[in-house]
Structure 1
Amino acid sequence: MKLILRILLTAIAVVVLAEFLPGITLTEGYKSAIIVAIVLGILRVTVKPLLIFFTLPATIVTLGLFLLVINAVIILLAGYFVDGFTVSGFWTALLFSLLLSIFQSILYSFLKESKEK
């Protein structure tokens, strides 16, 4: 149940960001946003660890800032795989990934269960 809520919250964040960022377009609205959320989840689980492993020296030298580049590449890959979602360039993908991470952390904080009994 929590996974479905996370996908829906990510889709909401994608729709909001696509409305405000000029280089991001969603042609099919919420349907594309849900597909983007699912594809981003799959790419983050499968491709991102491989990219982190192969770019570990660059990540260490830049003190972790290269992870922002990896996140932008994941967004660009999602734009490549999803037909209704387009990203105009690398810098737009970088800004989108930063803002998406911020929105996700805010929205996911509402899903935290209280541990008090």
Structure 2
Amino acid sequence: MGFLVRILVSALAAMLTTYLLKPAVKIDSFVTALILALVLALLNALVKPLLVLFTFPVTLLTLGLFLFVINAVIILLAAKIVPGFKVDGFWWAMLFSIVMTIINSIMINLAGGSND
């Protein structure tokens, strides 16, 4: 599945996730969701591997559960970068990350793409 299609699917997943977590997470428009999807793709490609590398002992000690914390930090960082995207706190960022991942996976599978 192409990069642009994945960005569009991620933007739709972000909009749907925002609708589900309405009072605590806000996205102003679909254009903001597209920018958020691009920023999350960049942060996941550039920042997340460094965070995983630096926190490897903690991640190993928690049997991988610390990766949820890293995902929440990435969402909070994206909220600081993207104007029009707001998250009320760490726990909402973690919940947003989990729900968006599930919705994104379902949408990609429905579109006939692979999740690799």
TM-score > 0.5, shorter chain as reference: yes
Pair 1:111–1:4, CA change in 2 (3 A): farther
| Runs of 4+ residues over 2 Å off in structure 1 | 110-113
Name the counterpart of 1:7. 7
- Aligned-partner Cα distance in 1 for 2:34–2:105: 18
Name the counterpart of 1:25. 26
Unaligned runs of 5+ in 2: none
SS of 2:112 mapped into structure 1? coil
Using the size of structure 1 for normalisation, the TM-score is 0.91
- Aligned-partner Cα distance in 2 for 1:23–1:8: 23
CA contact (8 A) 2:17 2:103 kept: no
Residue type matched to 1:108 in 2? I
Unaligned runs of 5+ in 1: none
Return the offset for 1:112: 2.3
Name the counterpart of 1:57. 57
Residue type matched to 2:72 in 1? A
| Matched-pair identity in % | 47
Using the size of structure 2 for normalisation, the TM-score is 0.92
Name the counterpart of 1:70. 70
Residue type matched to 2:16 in 1? V
Name the counterpart of 1:81. 81
RMSD: 1.2
- Aligned-partner Cα distance in 1 for 2:34–2:112: 18
SS of 1:4 mapped into structure 2? helix
- Aligned-partner Cα distance in 2 for 1:70–1:108: 23
- Aligned-partner Cα distance in 2 for 1:11–1:112: 16
